């Protein structure tokens, strides 16, 4: 875990993701990425020279009209001495039952982020940390290119002027494989998504494409990230 926390700290310092006195909410979905991010920031807060606080927040989509059981994550938060806030929503029924969206993932992600943004404002957090990692960044670059016909990616740090909060992504130097292995070693309490579209997404297809390209271009992901940094693309 210490090696990955070192990479988290490197991202924090390169992109100035954390400042003195920050009140950081970590968006926790129940997946390995957000849970590892929560643990990493909780650990970093104990010795990082700039003092900041960490709180876990979850927007429960209530897929199938049922509340998700996040009790295991509450236990983890208690172990980390981190407060945990769960906001119940009707995202699941709205997207899959009322609107019957054919391509629900993008809409669900936007709406869930909106709920987290509002929760940050209500609770007085000035930063929202999201669990996007190195592989997510590369996949997003290719998704923008292939599906949107543009060069772009999410930014390591984004200020939302209307909400006066900043989104940060401290895992951008951590590979998905490394996070998966660390989560298994740490026995993080992953909560499986009940989303009907889980695993059937454009991101999954893009991930498979990148993996196939890497058979011929083994350092493809590193080159993409390097190109984004050299070009200063979207704050990289």
Q: What is the pLDDT of residue 76?
A: 98
pLDDT digits 0-9 by tens, 153-203: 999 999 999 999 999 999 999 999 999 999 999 999 999 887 776 666 788
Q: What percent of the chain has pLDDT over 70?
A: 96
Sketch the domain layout of the chain as residue ranges.
2-235
* pLDDT at 5 > cutoff 80: yes
Cβ proximity of 87 and 60 under 8 Å: yes
Overall pTM > 0.85: yes
* pLDDT at 97 > cutoff 80: no
Strand order from edge to edge, sheet including 22-27: 84-88, 52-60, 22-27, 127-129, 165-168, 157-160
User: Which residues touch 107 (CB under 8 Å, ≥6 apart)?
Assistant: 95, 101
pLDDT digits 0-9 by tens, 126-159: 999 999 999 999 999 999 999 999 999 999 999 9
> Does domain 2-235 correspond to CATH entry 3.30.70.2190?
no
The mean predicted confidence, pLDDT, of the chain is 93
């Amino acid at each position: 875990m210490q090696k990955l926390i070192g990479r988290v700290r490197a991202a924090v310092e390169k992109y100035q993701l954390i400042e003195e006195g920050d009140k950081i909410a970590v968006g926790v979905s129940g997946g390995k990425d957000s849970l590892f991010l929560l643990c990493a920031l909780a650990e970093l807060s104990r010795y990082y020279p700039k003092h900041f606080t960490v709180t876990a927040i979850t927007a429960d989509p209530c897929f199938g009209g049922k509340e998700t059981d996040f009790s295991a994550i509450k236990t983890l938060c208690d172990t980390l001495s981190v407060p945990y806030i769960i906001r119940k929503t009707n995202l699941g029924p709205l997207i899959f039952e009322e609107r019957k969206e054919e391509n629900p993932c993008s809409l669900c992600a936007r709406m869930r982020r909106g709920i987290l943004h509002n929760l940050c404002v209500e609770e007085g957090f000035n930063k929202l940390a999201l669990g996007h990692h190195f592989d997510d960044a590369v996949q997003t670059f290719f998704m923008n290119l292939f599906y949107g016909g543009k060069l772009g990616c999410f930014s390591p740090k984004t200020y939302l002027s209307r909400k006066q909060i900043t989104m940060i992504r401290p895992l951008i130097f951590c590979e998905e494989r490394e996070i998966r292995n660390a989560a298994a070693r740490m026995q993080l309490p992953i909560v499986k998504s009940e989303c009907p579209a889980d695993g059937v997404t454009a991101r999954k297809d893009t991930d498979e494409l990148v993996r196939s390209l890497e058979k011929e271009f083994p350092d493809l992901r590193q080159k993409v990230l390097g190109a984004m940094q050299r070009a200063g693309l979207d704050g990289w």
